[in-house]
Amino acid sequence: MLGGSSQNARIKRILDQDSVILIHGVLTGIFLLEVVLFSAYESITELLIILLGSALWVTVGGIRYYNALSVNKYPALYLTIYHVVFGLFFALYESAYSPYLLIWLVVGYLTHHFYGIRGLIITSGVTALVLLNQAFRSLPSDTNFGEYLRFIGVQMLIFGTISLFFSITGKLNSQDRKILAASVNKAQIERQRITSLINSMGDGVISTDEQGIIKLYNAAALNILDTNARIEEMNVSDVMNIIDKSAKVVNIISEASKRNINIVSTEYLMVYPDGEKINLYLNISPIKLSFQQNSEKGYIISFRDITHEKSLEEERNEFISVVSHELRTPIAITEANISNAQFLAEKGNNPGAIRTSLEAAHKQALFLANMINDLSTLSRAERGKLDMKTESIDPREIMKSLVEDYTKEAATKGLEFSTSIAGDVPESINSNRLYVREILQNFITNSIKYTKEGGVSVVLKGRQDGVEFSVKDTGIGISKSDQKRVFDKFFRSEDFRTRESSGTGLGLYVTKKLMRLINAEISLKSKLNEGSVFTVFIPDLTKDTNRQ
């Protein structure tokens, strides 16, 4: 994922690792070369000590190499160890003419790196002491003092010149490093700024190279891809399975490379390993870093899940087409009947036929009024909870008003309308009066509409945290297959008895929407030719805070 990796630390680490290889590698090399090529040991014990020493030295080097104990953190400790080890090594083991004396240059470089020119002077001092010691040890005893000095002088001259060279280039390097560090620092801040900007975006963002290998990505990308694995260095087509509308797999990188311009699409789908699909908004932009021919190229892919928007859009389109279709027929019938009535009226001799035409038109007008009513309730329900007010309602009072409203209507069809209250019904519950009434009205009007004999009864029961209303009828009943669809929009049963009475097929769909707004639960039990029971549980919303 996107994160700032410290360039400065990397430079330091490389320097540290190089010096480890040089110092530890060279000294181990000396030992092993001398031991293997020149058999420079006097007994097996001495050989073992030399080999053990080398192994120890390599181990220390290894620990340092892997940064467990960085020389950058403890420079004084390491440099003291190096001075002591090399000092002893040359003083006790090597001759004055040893070419390995050059290892002091590496130590000099290191002290200069950490302590500047003062560090170099200290190392030079230690080197001079070592040389002096070696001169005394290895030159023939009759050599005079002048020769000693000349010998040391020559060696110090060589060492000094090279050290000076190191020092000067080191100083230049250190200036370069300071400039580099400053610009690295600036770049790091920029990078962090961009990193947090991209990571805080809601859209998934993936940056790839020209072949589609992922180089960077943000947290949202992982969210949408539904993974928490590292996807760096993977091919984007392995982590995003994109298909088009005809289910053909699309390689977005090759699409983008063909067109070489921004691709923006809302037509693609992404398929998850378990087969689930989501609609994607996808934007692929080629990266043009500069106009140089061989600058790095690649793509920035940004994407988001638009399944919800897509389904809303599809639902809206379908709804408009269905509603306009449903409205067309009654309007056509109304129009035909009215023009027929007009025609008859012009002739002026058939009042009975005019009346029939007008009655038919009136019926359709009532149907249209019903449908518009349902549609407006639906749009209110669609507007959601924002508009919903809860209030204290008395369930018994609702039952009373139902009796007032429906006894007469049922009686005109020769049906009995009864209500009863069972169990412990609370005095009041908190919900939305209008919605509760509308739900019950829909059930009762349907029951009256689809019942020819018998009656309709409403039972009110108290339940934990709410009340339950059951509307039972002895009507035509609903077949098992229709039971699954009665709450769908514009669904009307194919049963001819249903078609005898007019209806929009929106009542129960609206009921379902309203029910969601007040967290009500509906269940339906029905048997064809025997009757139906619609039961709704209305929760007390004061006790139902976690469900709101």
Residue ranges binding ligand ADP (CB under 6 A) = 442, 446-447, 450, 473, 475-478, 486, 491-493, 498, 503-509, 532
CB of 377 to ligand ADP, least distance (A): 12
* Bridge partners, residue 279, by sequence: 269
CB of 445 to ligand ADP, least distance (A): 8
Query: CB-wise, 61 or 503, nearer to ligand ADP?
Result: 503
Query: CB-wise, 163 or 493, nearer to ligand ADP?
Result: 493
Query: CB-wise, 282 or 514, nearer to ligand ADP?
Result: 514
CB of 402 to ligand ADP, least distance (A): 15
Query: CB-wise, 93 or 490, nearer to ligand ADP?
Result: 490
CB of 467 to ligand ADP, least distance (A): 21
Query: CB-wise, 31 or 443, nearer to ligand ADP?
Result: 443
User: From residue 11, how far is each of 15, 61, 175, 187, 459 by CA, in Å?
Assistant: 6, 19, 14, 15, 82
Q: For residue 35, count CB atoms less than 10 angstroms from its CB and return exposed for 0-12, middle for 13-18, buried for 19 or more.
A: middle
Query: CB-wise, 395 or 477, nearer to ligand ADP?
Result: 477
CB 435 within 8 A of CB 514: yes
CB of 418 to ligand ADP, least distance (A): 16
Query: CB-wise, 341 or 478, nearer to ligand ADP?
Result: 478
CB 219 within 8 A of CB 241: no
CB 205 within 8 A of CB 231: no
d(CA 18, CA 471): 87
- Token output for 48: 């073992």
Query: CB-wise, 298 or 477, nearer to ligand ADP?
Result: 477
CB 402 within 8 A of CB 533: no
Task: Give the residue among 48, 21, 22, 20 at the shortest CA–CA distance from 35.
Answer: 48
CB of 514 to ligand ADP, least distance (A): 12
Query: CB-wise, 212 or 477, nearer to ligand ADP?
Result: 477
CB of 496 to ligand ADP, least distance (A): 11
CB of 442 to ligand ADP, least distance (A): 6
CB of 530 to ligand ADP, least distance (A): 10
Q: Which residues contact 536 (CB under 8 A, 6 or more apart)?
A: 439, 440, 443, 468, 469, 470, 515, 520, 521, 522
DSSP track, 389-412: --EEE-HHHHHHHHHHHHHHHHHH
The distance of Cα 459 from the centroid of its chain, to the nearest Å, equals: 49
CB of 522 to ligand ADP, least distance (A): 12
Query: CB-wise, 155 or 377, nearer to ligand ADP?
Result: 377
Query: Within 13 Å, how many C-alpha atoms sit on residue 31's CB side?
Result: 20
Task: Give the residue among 221, 267, 215 at the shortest CA–CA distance from 242.
Answer: 267
Residue entry with tokens 């699954």: 484
CB of 201 to ligand ADP, least distance (A): 44
Rg (CA), the chain: 46
Q: Parallel, antiparallel, or unpaired for β 391-393 and 466-473?
A: unpaired
Letter string b/e over residues 263-294, b meaning 16 or more CB atoms within 10 A of that residue's CB: bebeebbbeeeeeeebbbbbbbebeeeeeeee
Query: CB-wise, 212 or 507, nearer to ligand ADP?
Result: 507
CB 528 within 8 A of CB 477: yes
